[in-house]
Structure 1
């Protein structure tokens, strides 16, 4: 068989328009869960979130066993209605207030290399896009310094979260999201917040 009788289709060298849209929507959505700057503890603006989600948007949190067994499970409740989501945003906003700094970055491969700003990484983002199903999976690290006294390093926690995002038909809005949290990191943040609260109010 001659070589002319076979052919190969080269892999695309650039993302398709839909792929690019899904990535942009992911970044816009994740930015609503972060303070506006690397040293800010401002509350989340729920209006920004509405611009990135559908009317019937829902949110769930996992892993299921961690959420069910957590003493703070009310703070990890799945969000199935607009009212529940408003409560979820309120809890997130209060979490910002308990932090000295809150930096979000998307994990990169092969090895994250902190930039001079401390909030970004060099390399290729760890983001997986399924164009046919319009699903995006992205690994995000929240570096949180909890308020308190003493060594800042001992009050710093890297909370790694994996997001599963189901997009709308055109890829411009998020229909459903699932947030898989780091149970150990979440527990440590809760412990540090308890220490800080006790030092301020005398209550645990």
Structure 2
């Protein structure tokens, strides 16, 4: 008598567990890579090699919510990896410090997509920290180890407050 064949869930379980773990770990690392790094060079204090290591060479980034972004021309369109790094460099050069906290991560293995919510406390030079409550949609490569595309949904009120504070820094410079 032959033994029954394994069910799909039995045969795919180790792969599924690894994929879920990869997607979750990469999403967490992706957000943490955007944090302040005292060991990285000024003025950005960003760990650019780490940021690059978590994204594909064809990585793209865009912002949402659509109406809010329609009122903020610098945030419109899709950024390439180099344009995203340039955006980070411009933004962080006006900050004294910033800190991130990942609050929640939801993984969709079938789509190789992760949704993550994170708080970013951003302290513009000489000002109080402002929390930008962000939601990230991340689409990953086949193994879930690198991000191919992201959409960053901004807290519109916090983003406008930060822009106003950054404009003040630019005027004082």
Unaligned runs of 5+ in 2: 1-12
Give the superposition deviation at 1:42.
Answer: 3.4
- TM-score where L is the length of structure 1: 0.68
CA distance in structure 2 between the aligned counterparts of 1:176 and 1:44, rounded to whole angstroms: 20
Would you say the 8 A contact 1:139–1:160 is kept in 2? Answer: yes
- TM-score where L is the length of structure 2: 0.79
Q: SS at 1:16's partner residue? A: helix
For this pair of structures, how many residues does the alignment match? 157
Would you say the 8 A contact 1:44–1:89 is kept in 2? Answer: no
CA distance in structure 2 between the aligned counterparts of 1:77 and 1:86, rounded to whole angstroms: 16
2:77 corresponds to: 78
Q: SS at 2:163's partner residue? A: helix
CA distance in structure 2 between the aligned counterparts of 1:57 and 1:146, rounded to whole angstroms: 28
Unaligned runs of 5+ in 1: 1-11, 108-125
CA distance in structure 1 between the aligned counterparts of 2:129 and 2:47, rounded to whole angstroms: 25
2:105 corresponds to: 127
List per-residue Cα deviations over 1:143-176 (Å, max 9, x = no partner): 012112xxx5xx2210011000111111111111
Would you say the 8 A contact 1:35–1:41 is kept in 2? Answer: no
1:60 corresponds to: 62
Would you say the 8 A contact 2:55–2:146 is kept in 1? Answer: yes
Q: SS at 1:133's partner residue? A: coil
1:144 corresponds to: 122
Would you say the 8 A contact 1:102–1:143 is kept in 2? Answer: yes
Give the superposition deviation at 1:50.
Answer: 2.7
Give the structure with the higher percent helix. 2
